[in-house]
Structures are given as structure tokens and as C-alpha cells.
Amino acid sequence: MELQEVVVKLERFGPNSLAEKWDNVGLLVEPSKPHLVRKLMITNDLTEAVLKESIAEKADMILSYHPPIFAPLKKLTNSSVKERILVSAIENRIAVYSPHTIYDSLKGGVTDWLASCLGEYTTQPVIPFFDESASGYYKLEMYISKDKQHNWSEVLNNYNKENSVQDIIVSDLVDPKGCVKYGITCSRSGMFQILDSYHEMFDRNDNLQITKLSSKPILGTGSGRICRLVEPVSLQILIAQVKKHLNLSSLRLAADFYKPLSKLIRTVAVVAGAGGSLLKGVKADLYLTGEMSHHDVLAAVASGTCVLLCDHTNTERGYLFNKLKLDLGSLLDNRIEIITSKVDGDPLAVI
Ligand SMILES: [Zn+2]
């Protein structure tokens, strides 16, 4: 398949617009045309060893999850590893494509794959993705008393199944009267339906706030995930599930209470790779991520959140080598041989 066709299909699967603004994603190395892709190698990181492996494997393209070009380059010489990798890729006519935060944000991407070991849960992004090319969406915010919450959630869940409602967030915010804050993002028609139901159930609307949004949220897409478990699960069981999912014999846990393993977990905030900045201040019983700084871990534990660290790429590679490999097979009509690197691995090991 021609490289251009591969790239069009990849961008349809995960649009570049999903990437964080600071990221450098998409086609990063393009050999001169025509460039036929017969074999594509998936790797978490494009190291010199992985590049040598791809040359030996006669790959025409590498999908490197982390971008091998990030900071702007001023030269392409043999003086640094980064430059040597790029020079060698060009000389050997190997295209390089990097999806990085596109796949983190993607519904069913890296973050959802990482969270999938938690059992049954409802989920929402820590920071939802908004399509800035679309408008006409509204945010409704209201406080609902405890005795009416169940009925109101049922009404909203019915709308959620139809598509007029993009997102419902029941926050942990409780006002002095014990009412819980609901935030609902919906289309204009969805808003009128919800308002009808709201006025049927509640006589006063003095706590109702309506805001017109300038962009459209994309359901289930965005940075990180907050997962609310349907049934609370002990930390010990969750740790076992995470270890099995990531095929790891050990993880690092930070917690500030006696007998932490029996603690029941209801909410888990999940970030693949480095979770420190995104998880700052996020309310959850547990953070599940690859790495966090010492001070971020201390701050999380001080606010009552346990932290489970699995090392950076251990939270990413499983998605790439298992789910993505299968997804790309059907995306590219099984016309391209897709292989995964055998030498790519997390640089840290427990000894
Ligand atoms: Zn990463």
C-alpha cells in the first residue's frame, strides 16, 4: 500500500487534532515518492536497536508511539543518537509515523486499554476533548437533592443512550443543603428535552445554569480517564488485576493508611505514561499510571489517594503490541504485514 494511503487511513483512525497542543505527531519521516509499504513495525520507542531491527526485518515503515523528533532539529549529523536514528531511517527508506497523545486521547486507545483491567465501571476523561470546529452545544449545571438523585440519574441515562447528550458528570461537589452538582453537556435539542424533564420533576429552577459552548465535546475522548467502579473492589484485588493485565510481577504502591490492601476502591484515575501533571488535584481513591515524581506522589497520598506506579512504557506497550496490532490489521485491510519490535522494552527493570 502506498505510504500516502496508509497515512490517510491512520489519520482517519486517530485524527491529529486529538493530540495535545505541545505534541509532535503524524508522519515525521517521509521517504521520497513512490514509497510502497509492505511491512510496518510497531514500537513504543524508536531506539538505535529498534531501527537496526527494522532494517534487518526489511520494514518500510515504523509506527513509533513516542515521537523520535520532538524538539526542533538544527542539523542531521552522526553526532547524536537522535540524529543518527533519523539519518539511518532516511538512508534505508523507512517512513516514521508517531501517534503518541492521539492514541492516549482516542476512545478505545491506550488509556482505555490500561483501564480495561479494572472490571465493570463507568468512565469519563479527566480533560474531555472538544472539537473546536463544531459549535451549538450547551452545558447545563444544577444541584439535585439526595432523595431525587436516583430518579434524575435514571432520566439522564435514558437521554445518554440517544446521542443528544454527550456527557453527564455527577461531581463530588455537595452544597450546604446536601445537594449534588450535575454537569450535562448536550446538543440544543437535547437541552430542550432535559429541560422538559427537569421542569416536570422540580418546581424551582433557581439553581439551574445554562452555558452555550463554542465547541463540541467528543464522547469518551480526551486526556486520562476517571473510572467509577460499579462495585467497590479492594486495593489488593485491583493490584492483582493490574499485574495480570500488564504482565508484571511487581508494581510500586504509595498509600498512607494502616493495612492499605484491604481498602475499598471506588474511583480510579488512569493516565498512561507519566501521570503527574494531569492527575494533579484529581479526586480519586487510586491513581493508576506509569510514573509520577516523588513530590506528586506525596501530595496525592496526603490528600487520601493511593498511587500505583507501573513504570512508564509498561502502561503503553501492551496496547500497541496487542490491541493496536489487531486494529491496524483490519484498518489496513490486511494488505500490510504488521510486526512488533522484539528489542523494544521498558528501560527500567526490577533486579
Ligand atoms: Zn509515554
How far is residue 247's CA from residue 321's CA, in Å, rounded to a whole number? 13
Q: Is residue 66 a known part of a binding site?
A: yes
The strands making up 180-187's β-sheet, listed across from edge to edge, are 165-174, 180-187, 137-144, 209-213
CA of 180 to the centre of ligand 1 (A): 36
**Distance from Cα 234 to the centre of ligand 1, integer Å:** 28
- Domain contains 56: yes
Q: Do the annotations mark residue 245 as ligand-binding?
A: no
| Domain end (from 155, 187, 214) | 214
Q: Starting at the edge strand that comes first in sequence, how are the strands of the sheet with 61-64 ordered?
A: 26-29, 95-98, 61-64, 39-43, 337-340
Domain identity same for 173 and 229 = no
Tally the domains of the chain.
3
Single out the residue in 156, 181, 214 at which a domain terminates: 214
Confirm or deny that 312 is annotated as ligand binding: yes
Whether residue 128 lies inside any domain: the answer is no
Distance 314 CA to ligand 1 centre (A): 9
Nearest to 317 by CA among 14, 43, 26, 20: 43
Is the domain of 20 the same as that of 144? Answer: no
Does some domain include residue 350?
no
Specify the residue for cell string 430518579.
151
Going from the Cα of 169 to the center of ligand 1, the distance in angstroms, rounded, reads: 27
CA of 65 to the centre of ligand 1 (A): 8
The answer to whether position 349 is within a domain reads no
- Cα–Cα distances in Å, from 72 out to 56, 76, 90, 142, 337? 29, 11, 17, 46, 32
For residues 13 and 154, membership in a common domain is answered with no
Spell out the per-residue pLDDT of the chain, length 351, in tens.
999 999 999 999 999 999 999 999 999 999 999 999 999 999 999 999 999 999 999 999 999 999 999 999 999 999 999 999 999 999 999 999 999 999 999 999 999 999 999 999 999 999 988 887 666 788 888 888 888 888 888 888 877 666 567 667 777 667 777 788 888 888 888 888 888 888 888 876 667 899 888 777 788 999 999 999 999 999 999 999 999 999 999 999 999 766 678 889 999 999 999 999 999 999 999 999 999 999 999 999 999 999 999 999 999 999 999 999 999 999 999 999 999 999 999 999 888
CA distance 113 to 322: 10
Cβ proximity of 240 and 253 under 8 Å: no
Q: Is 172 annotated as a binding residue?
A: no
| CATH, residue 201 | 3.30.70.260
CA 103 – ligand 1 centroid, Å: 11
251, 110: one domain = yes
Residue 349 CA, ligand 1 centroid: distance in Å: 17
> Is 347 a domain residue?
no
Domain range enclosing 74? 3-102+316-340
- 16/292 Cα distance (integer angstroms): 26
**Distances 230 to 101, 112, 121 between C-alpha atoms, Å:** 28, 16, 5
